[in-house]
A and B are shown apart, each in its own frame.
Chain A
Amino acid sequence: MNKQVSHVGIAALVLLAALIVGTTYWQTWANAGLANRQDNEIRLVAQFSIKRGRIYAADGKTLVAANVATKRGSQTLYFRRYPTGPIFSDVVGYSTQTRNRTGLEESYNDYLTGSNANLDTVFHSALDRLRGATVTGNDLVVTIRPSAQALALRLLRGKCGAVVALEPSTGRVLVMATNPTYNANLIEKHFALATRTSLPCGAPLVNRATVGRYPPGSTFKMVTAAAALDSGRFTPDSPFYDPGYCVEYGKQVRNAGNPEAPETFGHVNLSTGFEKSINSVFCNVGKALGAGTILDYAKRFGFYSVPALELPGGERVASGLYQHGRLYDPKHPDTQVDPGRLAFGQERLAVTPLQMAMVAAAIGNHGVEMRPQIVERIVAPGGKTITHLQPDQLGRPIKRQTADELTRMMELVVTGGTAPLAAIPGVHVAGKTGTAEIGRGNIHTTWFAAFAPAEAPRVAIAVVVENQLNGFGGTISAPIAKQVMEALLR
Chain B
Amino acid sequence: MSTASLTYAGFFFAVYLIAHLATRYAVPFADPYLLPIAGLLTAIGLTEIYRLNPRDAFRQGIWIVVAVALFAATLFMLRHEYRRLETYKYLFGFSAIALLLLPILPVLGLTVNGARLWVHVGAMRFQPGELAKIMLIVFLAGYMREKREVLAQGRAKDWGPLLVIWVLAMLVLLETRDLGGGLLYYGIFLAMLYMATARIGYVAAGLGLFLVGAVGVWKVTPHVQDRVTIWLHPWTDHKVYCPLSGHLDLRQNCQSFQLVKSFYSIAAGGYGGTGLGKGTVTNLNGQQIIPDLNTDFIYSALAQELGLIGAAALVLVYMIFVLRGMRIALLAEDGFSKLAAAGLTFGFALQTFIIVGGVLRLIPLTGITLPFVSYGGSSVVANFLLLAGLLLISNRANRDLLR
Interface residues in chain A, defined as those with a beta carbon under 8 Å from any beta carbon in chain B: 1-9, 11-13, 15-20, 22-28, 30-31, 34-35, 37, 39-46, 48, 72-75, 77, 97, 132
* Nearest neighbor of A25 in chain B, beta-carbon distance: B360
In the complex, how many angstroms separate the beta carbon of B96 from the nearest chain A beta carbon? 21
Cβ contact within 8 Å between A15 and B350: yes
Known: A11-B346, A18-B357; 19 extra A-B contacts, CB below 8 A, are A4-B198, A5-B330, A5-B338, A8-B194, A8-B346, A12-B346, A17-B319, A23-B266, A23-B311, A24-B312, A25-B360, A27-B267, A27-B269, A42-B289, A45-B284, A48-B284, A73-B282, A74-B282, A77-B284
Could you name 12 residue pairs across A and B whose Cβ atoms are closer than 8 Å? A1-B339, A5-B329, A8-B326, A9-B346, A11-B346, A18-B353, A19-B356, A23-B315, A25-B360, A28-B271, A39-B260, A43-B268
- The reply on B335 being an interface residue by CB < 8 A is yes
Cβ contact within 8 Å between A19 and B360: yes
* Nearest neighbor of A29 in chain B, beta-carbon distance: B267
Cβ contact within 8 Å between B353 and A28: no
B residues 334-366 in Cβ contact with A at 8 Å: 335, 338-339, 342, 345-346, 349-350, 352-353, 356-357, 360-362
Kindly list chain A residues whose C-beta atoms are within 8 Å of the C-beta of B270. Answer: 27-28, 31
Question: With A5-B342, A9-B326, A12-B326 in contact, is A26–B195 under 8 Å at CB?
Answer: no
Question: With A5-B342, A41-B284, A42-B265 in contact, is A20–B315 under 8 Å at CB?
Answer: yes
Q: Which of A25, A26, A34, A74 has the most CB of B within 10 A?
A: A26
CA distance A31 to B304 in the complex (A): 11
- The reply on B318 being an interface residue by CB < 8 A is yes
CA distance A9 to B350 in the complex (A): 11
Cβ contact within 8 Å between B284 and A13: no
Main secondary structure of the interface of B (DSSP, over half): helix
Which of B304, B312, B322, B361 is the one whose CB lies under 8 Å from A9?
B322
* Nearest neighbor of A7 in chain B, beta-carbon distance: B194
CA distance A306 to B291 in the complex (A): 47
Which of A7, A45, A97 is the one whose CB lies under 8 Å from B280?
A45
Q: Which of B263, B280, B284, B312 has the most CB of A within 10 A?
A: B284
Kindly list chain A residues whose C-beta atoms are within 8 Å of the C-beta of B330. Answer: 2, 5-6
Cβ contact within 8 Å between A46 and B326: no
Cβ contact within 8 Å between A39 and B342: no
In the complex, how many angstroms separate the beta carbon of B5 from the nearest chain A beta carbon? 14
- The reply on B323 being an interface residue by CB < 8 A is yes
CA distance A72 to B287 in the complex (A): 9
Cβ contact within 8 Å between B198 and A27: no
* Nearest neighbor of B338 in chain A, beta-carbon distance: A1
Which of B267, B319, B345, B350 is the one whose CB lies under 8 Å from A30?
B267
Cβ contact within 8 Å between A22 and B357: yes
- The reply on B261 being an interface residue by CB < 8 A is yes
Kindly list chain A residues whose C-beta atoms are within 8 Å of the C-beta of B195. Answer: 1, 4-5, 8
CA distance A327 to B396 in the complex (A): 85
Kindly list chain B residues whose C-beta atoms are within 8 Å of the C-beta of A72. Answer: 282, 284-286
CA distance A77 to B191 in the complex (A): 52
Cβ contact within 8 Å between A26 and B360: yes
Kindly list chain B residues whose C-beta atoms are within 8 Å of the C-beta of A75. Answer: 280, 282
Which of A12, A23, A43, A45 is the one whose CB lies under 8 Å from B360?
A23
- The reply on B30 being an interface residue by CB < 8 A is no
CA distance A23 to B316 in the complex (A): 12
Q: Which of A2, A6, A16, A43 has the most CB of B within 10 A?
A: A16
Kindly list chain B residues whose C-beta atoms are within 8 Å of the C-beta of A48. Answer: 284
CA distance A35 to B269 in the complex (A): 11
- The reply on B307 being an interface residue by CB < 8 A is yes
CA distance A34 to B261 in the complex (A): 10
Cβ contact within 8 Å between B307 and A27: yes
Question: With A19-B353, A27-B267 in contact, is A44–B282 under 8 Å at CB?
Answer: no
Question: With A23-B315, A27-B303, A41-B284 in contact, is A15–B349 under 8 Å at CB?
Answer: yes
* Nearest neighbor of A34 in chain B, beta-carbon distance: B267
- The reply on B283 being an interface residue by CB < 8 A is yes
Kindly list chain B residues whose C-beta atoms are within 8 Å of the C-beta of A3. Answer: 198
* Nearest neighbor of B322 in chain A, beta-carbon distance: A12
* Nearest neighbor of A73 in chain B, beta-carbon distance: B286
Cβ contact within 8 Å between B284 and A44: yes
- The reply on B196 being an interface residue by CB < 8 A is yes
* Nearest neighbor of A17 in chain B, beta-carbon distance: B319
In the complex, how many angstroms separate the beta carbon of B207 from the nearest chain A beta carbon? 12
- The reply on B252 being an interface residue by CB < 8 A is yes
Kindly list chain A residues whose C-beta atoms are within 8 Å of the C-beta of B253. Answer: 39
Which of A11, A13, A24, A132 is the one whose CB lies under 8 Å from B278?
A132
CA distance A132 to B275 in the complex (A): 10
- The reply on B88 being an interface residue by CB < 8 A is no
- The reply on B159 being an interface residue by CB < 8 A is no
* Nearest neighbor of B269 in chain A, beta-carbon distance: A27
CA distance A19 to B303 in the complex (A): 12
Cβ contact within 8 Å between A41 and B308: no
Cβ contact within 8 Å between B191 and A8: yes
In the complex, how many angstroms separate the beta carbon of B23 from the nearest chain A beta carbon? 23
Which of B250, B285, B308 is the one whose CB lies under 8 Å from A23?
B308
Question: With A6-B326, A8-B195, A45-B283 in contact, is A22–B362 under 8 Å at CB?
Answer: yes
